[in-house]
Amino acid sequence: NAGVMQNPRHLVRRRGQEARLRCSPMKGHSHVYWYRQLPEEGLKFMVYLQKENIIDESGMPKERFSAEFPKEGPSILRIQQVVRGDSAAYFCASSSTGRDQPQHFGDGTRLSIL
């Protein structure tokens, strides 16, 4: 499967724990985006990364959330000290360098906070 790969598909955490969500972009894609989707809502942009660089994090909450896309390995979205309000589906998307290209989405990680 050459698509965008996210894991885990489902993640359960207790309040105060850390959540790590992983995303491997499509082969040949160097642009990664993270979105959050609340129930019955559209996706909200969080952050846009290229290898080793955060290009735009205007949608990231100011505290507890961070993202990286290292030179080797998947992109990671990290949520520290999770709270109930962090429960959502988190989608990763990737695109090639062409601006006209659509973003291709992974299957998402459903995060549940107990």
CB proximity list for 42: less than 8 A, separation 6 or greater: none
Q: Which residue has the tokens 């030179």?
A: 71
**Binding string, residues 18-57; x marks residues near another protein by CB under 8 A:** -------------x-x-x----xxxxxx-xx------xx-
Residue 85 in contact with another protein, rule: CB under 8 A = no
Residue 83 in contact with another protein, rule: CB under 8 A = no
Contacts with another protein by CB under 8 A lie at 4, 31, 33, 35, 40-45, 47-48, 55-56, 58-59, 91, 93, 95, 99-108
